[in-house]
Structure 1
Amino acid sequence: MKKIRFNRISIVLDEFDLDQKDLAELIGVSKDTVSRWCRNVHQPKLQDLYHIAKALRIDIRRLIEPTSWENEKGLSLVEKFRLNKKQ
């Protein structure tokens, strides 16, 4: 199964030439926590993303992997739900 990357924290850290320890110190969490975020093993809470964005003075959306469903085939869950409801 392909691992999904939900956040872009490691990419943003590279862009700012910061390491995980730097970010941990900046926002007051452990280096292990940042490591889990960077590996997408665990996801940060929204308030953590806010603190990261504030510390780096960036738009919070840069920390999250963008989504695009244009290449997805078939009906969306909403469309399937509506079809089943009509039956």
Structure 2
Amino acid sequence: MLRIDEILKEKRISNSEFASMIGVSETSASAFKSGKTKPKFDTLVKIAEVLDVDIRQLFKPTKGGELLNGFVEYEDEIYRIYSKEDLQNLLNTIK
């Protein structure tokens, strides 16, 4: 259910670095990444903070489709993208 391993790979953060960042043993960090152990909520918050992601990005979508969550900068404006509708509105703005 968690995408921690994917995010760490994207950010090129090793397991030992990750463990140090969140203040747990490498074994615990590895268990979080593999899904063997589920972190407590306060640990999830810390993981999101140290990885600089929205906490929702730590989870795989449960209702199909892709997770849309991010920001796009276009012509000095910042657009938040949380849904397909947000993305479509941005595309309409760009056209």
**Partner amino acid, structure 2, of 1:30:** S
- Aligned match of 1:63: 58
- Aligned match of 1:47: 42
Show the 5 A alignment for 1:1-87. 6-68=1-63
Change (3 A) 1:16 1:29: same
Unmatched segments (≥5 aa) in structure 1: 1-5, 71-87
**Partner amino acid, structure 2, of 1:29:** V
Unmatched segments (≥5 aa) in structure 2: 66-95
Q: Output the CA distance in 1 between the equivalents of 2:29 and 2:46.
A: 13
Q: Under a length normalisation based on structure 2, what TM-score does the superposition of the two structures give?
A: 0.63
Instruction: Name the larger-Rg structure.
Output: 1
Name the count of aligned residue pairs. 65
Structure with the bigger RCO (C-alpha within 8 Å, sep 6+) is 1
Aligned residues with identical type, % of pairs: 34
Moved segments of 4+, more than 2 Å: none
